[in-house]
Amino acid sequence: MFIALVSLDKNTVQWTLQYLSREHNFTQLELESQVPKERGGQRFDTHTQMIEYATQHWQSNLVTTSLHSCTCSDVDTFLRRPFTLLVALESSIENIKKSLTQQLPPSTPALDLAAFLRWFDGAYRAQRDTLSRAQLNIYNGHETEDAFVDVLREANIVDEQRIRPSWDTYFMELADLASQRSNCMKRRVGAVLTQDKRVVSTGYNGTPKGLLNCADGGCKRCNSGVEMGFAECLCLHAEENALLEAGRGRIGECAVLYCNTCPCLGCAVKIVQTGISQVVYNHGYRVDQKTLELFRNAGVVLRHTPMKRRAPSDKSTTDEECDDSDEIAQNQDQDDNSSQATLSESDLAPAEGGGDHSGSGIKSSTIKTASIPLNSPSLNQLATSLGLLITHSDIDVNDVIVKSECLPNKHKQQHAHPSVCHHWLRDSAAAGRILPIALYVLDDYNPNNSEDGSDDLPPNPQSKNACFRIHPLNSPNEHLVHALRILKQDRVARDERWNALAYSRAAAMVKSFPHRIRSKDDIRLQLSYDSNDTVHTKNIGEKKIRAKIEEYLNYGRISEAETIQNSPSHKLYNALCSIQGIGPRRAYELSRTGASSLGELVERGSITQEDVTLAQHLELGIPRTEVSSIAGVVMENARTLLPHPTHAICGGYRRGKSESNDIDILITHHGYTLQQMNEFLANLARRLQDMGFLTKLMRQLSLSDGHSDKHDYQSTLLGVVASSSKYGTTDSAQVTFRRVDIIVCHPHSFHLEVLAWTGSVMYERDLRAFVKRRNLKLNASSVYNEHTNNEVDLSGIRSERHLLAFLHLPWIAPENRNCD
């Protein structure tokens, strides 16, 4: 995305630039004439050149401040591109004056008010046009950078939704637009009825056709100040209008109704009767409890979608008296089931759209919403203060998905402990998305043993351990990282294990650099943004690797890496490695038997054609949508064998990769022993094989054989599935073979397993190396003391984040663990 910042306040602009480059890896593009030369970024002579450059690199994060004083047509050109966002940074007059004063040379006399006003008038007039066209306005009323950065984080500038709205947002904004046509005196309400992502009809509220408009006095009830009964109202609701307009014939199988406001009970009845399958609403802190209940019983999915495209300050939608306010049930009794913090089937309905154009890499960590019918005011208060909306679900498939029924049966009638919910909310706020609550009550919970959340360790970019650093999916130094990985591959091939490790570590270190490395001084880490203190970068030694990087900086390439990459034997070696069962050793041997191609080796009988073909299939990347649909098929079958499984999709998918190599599914179940889980896995494998989905088992299942109770490792199923178009493969007719890894584990070690199966390899390696220094040994299913062999009790661990805090490690979001 390409962001242009316009503002009168230079300090605020600077803070924003630093925030964008630090936390979202933005590169700065500027015009040579406008900004003094400083570190970082790219320079251009004209706007056109800059925009052209951005068009070529539209998938990177780019930012400019050079748009403020350009002509209207330049702003037009900028805004016409589909990847741009114009952000106005407004600021208090106080801040603007402070910035201006700081810019003036120290010798100038103090700025008097009249002079400041003259300057302000001129500057404002020059920028007014551009400012008024901004798609996002952020106001800085704070004096310190830290306070403002919090505002920036909340605004979530990088939200892809602003650049291209999801279907939900798109239809909801149409509903909002429809509401503008309302002529009801009480409230503006709009609705849009859709079918297969197409608008069928729209509606807004007001008096029926032919009658005097409500606004002109057509409806006595709405115009009189006194409260009159609902029955007196002549106004048709927006939902009714949309339904009437469409007619029953045009409402099909999967019609979705988008409403401005959560529908009243009267409308809900009509919605159910016309066969609408989903209702999405927007302004809904006050969910009508009766509507909710009706929809739940009738099987209509009710979701909430916030107006994501607006700035956070824009919370102007006051919930004034609405025409159905008297219908809202004030549900006081907390003792019924609806106040239990559980997720139900319909609550877990995934959001429409959003995910289906996720090809462009990292998913921004927007705060997600979840549907938990929590009636506790204190929890809602806490949630709001943390910036979480506890309403209807659009839990990402990326998340650990849990069913309500996963709660232990013996506790069925009991509420989740409030303190559990508090932890859950705090964890969710810190993680930037709603974490699955059921995992917080997965096992007996001891509220005393954990005070985590606030004392999170910060990531440390200087650390030599990858588990302390941020490694985004797309680094600004991807080329260099690639070159270092080629050298690493070469050392692996030569069986120089430790040299290979050193190159891996160096590559990971470069990967964690937040800025583009342009000179050898950049290989040092900046300690802070306003000082010149630098520190030597770990894992890049003073001799060998450093020399390679300097070569890269001088000539744009590393000759050794180029030579390796172009050598035919290396190509053959790589091809051999991708075959299942052939690792570095055999690939090295085979690649120097004099053969020049895989075909030749097949003829000789060293490898089979079958293996080669399979390898070609498995080398293809798997799009995210296909990963989730394959996981869906697996889980659908899992549910027939295990009542209410808990599962998580890990691997590259969880790390946000747009294309995965395989599908890693981790499954557990509350209260099951490992043996039971292993039996379940064997049955699942059989079932998937019988239906022809799982075509090849690549590893035998290890079934724990009763007597050895020491066998508490997770068992894994590594297999190949035939994925055809019905599971989301892009190739329409053809079957593509995909790797699936299904892992079952004990519920106690679930989060540890999630951590282990999410990777990346380098992250795991350094994680274990680090905890070892505290005499802890860590594997995929347990943590124990190296000397005493005492296992650490993990049953109180409530989340992956909690686990990391427990191990004194910083929380690095999965998307930032791409160190490979």
Partner DNA sequence: AGCTGGCAAACA
Partner DNA sequence: TGTTTG
Partner DNA sequence: ACAGCT
Active site residues: 548
Binding site for DNA (CB under 7 A): 464, 487, 491, 496, 498-499, 501-503, 505-506, 538-546, 577, 579-587, 662, 664, 699-700, 702, 713, 715, 718, 739, 741, 756-757, 761, 764-766, 768-769, 772, 777-779
Min CB(739)–DNA separation in Å:
6
Helices and strands per DSSP (H, E), number in the chain: 28, 22
Q: Judged by CB, which is closer to DNA: 323, or 490?
A: 490
Q: Is residue 813 left, alpha or beta, with left meaning phi > 0 and alpha meaning psi from -120 to 50?
A: beta
d(CA 61, CA 84): 10
d(CA 603, CA 609): 9
Residue 192 contacts by C-beta under 8 Å, 6 or more apart in sequence? 171, 172, 174, 175, 178, 199, 201, 202, 203, 242, 257, 258
Which residue in this structure is represented by tokens 């919370």? 315
Q: Judged by CB, which is closer to DNA: 120, or 713?
A: 713
Exposure string of 47-69, with b = 16+ CB inside 10 Å and e = fewer, is: beebbeebeeeeebbbbbbbbbe
Q: Judged by CB, which is closer to DNA: 189, or 666?
A: 666
Q: Judged by CB, which is closer to DNA: 251, or 561?
A: 561
Min CB(334)–DNA separation in Å:
45
d(CA 325, CA 323): 6
Backbone angles phi, psi at 206, to 5 degrees: 160, 180
On whether the CB atoms of residues 322 and 136 are closer than 8 A, the answer is: no
Residue 640: is it exposed, middle or buried by C-beta count within 10 angstroms (0-12/13-18/19+)? exposed
d(CA 307, CA 317): 11
Tokens representing 622 are: 């798997």
CA distances from 359 to 59, 330, 622 (A): 10, 44, 11
d(CA 227, CA 714): 64
Tokens representing 705 are: 């054989």
Q: Judged by CB, which is closer to DNA: 184, or 701?
A: 701
Min CB(492)–DNA separation in Å:
10
Min CB(816)–DNA separation in Å:
19
Tally of CB atoms within 10 A around 782: 17
Min CB(176)–DNA separation in Å:
46
CA distances from 411 to 415, 417, 441, 669 (A): 8, 11, 10, 16
On whether the CB atoms of residues 308 and 169 are closer than 8 A, the answer is: yes
Min CB(704)–DNA separation in Å:
9
Q: Judged by CB, which is closer to DNA: 187, or 765?
A: 765
Min CB(288)–DNA separation in Å:
47
Helix (H) or strand (E) holding 618: helix 609-619
Q: Judged by CB, which is closer to DNA: 23, or 551?
A: 551
Q: Judged by CB, which is closer to DNA: 482, or 772?
A: 772
Q: Judged by CB, which is closer to DNA: 33, or 563?
A: 563
Min CB(519)–DNA separation in Å:
18
DSSP 120-182: HHHHHHHHHHHHHT-SEEEEE--SSHHHHHHHHHHHTTT-HHHHS--HHHHHHHHHHHHHTT-
Backbone angles phi, psi at 268, to 5 degrees: -60, -40
Q: Judged by CB, which is closer to DNA: 319, or 791?
A: 791
Residue 458 contacts by C-beta under 8 Å, 6 or more apart in sequence? 810
Backbone angles phi, psi at 275, to 5 degrees: 85, 25
Min CB(375)–DNA separation in Å:
43
| Collapsed DSSP state (helix, strand, coil) of residue 89 | strand
Min CB(584)–DNA separation in Å:
5
